[in-house]
Amino acid sequence: MEKRIWTKPLAEVEQFMANDYVAACGDQNLVYKFQCNAGSSRSSYHVYLNGPDGVAHTADDIDWSARSGRLKTYSPCGATHEASTKEDFPEGYMYRSYYGENYGDPINVIVWTEGGTNTHCTANLNKDEWETTKS
């Protein structure tokens, strides 16, 4: 039989170090900050949203400028807007508009419709680059 030696129990204590950041609420109440900067402020544009298939210039695209039954054009306001990351930011495109006719090459954009009441387009197509903040 092996002889055992009794040792006094030891307790190790670790000091708590608070982290600089604790994600207690996850991504709740996050807002994007983005600039309404697509196009020239001296021009008007006809805006389209990519349809359910997500592909531009197909039959299911949504003519956002004609949504109310009459043509409404967009011009960039240049402002930096804040909108909840939970809102829709559909991809789309726009054409320069002259008396209701499209001309020139399409410009790819991400659209924020401000709850369906207004139109703001950004040329920054990578939402991962948009600044976010807590509201």
Q: Could you report the per-residue pLDDT of 12-64, keeping only the tens digit for each?
A: 777 666 655 545 455 577 999 999 999 999 999 999 999 999 999 999 999 99
The structure tokens 């600089």 sit at 20
Distance from C-alpha of 17 to C-alpha of 43, rounded to nearest angstrom: 56
CA distances from 13 to 7, 10, 20 (A): 19, 10, 22
Residue-level pLDDT at 17: 63
Considering only residues 120 and 14, tell me which one the structure prediction assigns the higher pLDDT: 120
Residue-level pLDDT at 99: 82
Residue-level pLDDT at 122: 96
Domain residue ranges in the chain: 30-134
Phi and psi at residue 86, to the nearest 5°: -85, -10
What is the rounded average pLDDT for all residues in the chain? 86
Confidence class of residue 90 from pLDDT cuts 50, 70 and 90?
very high
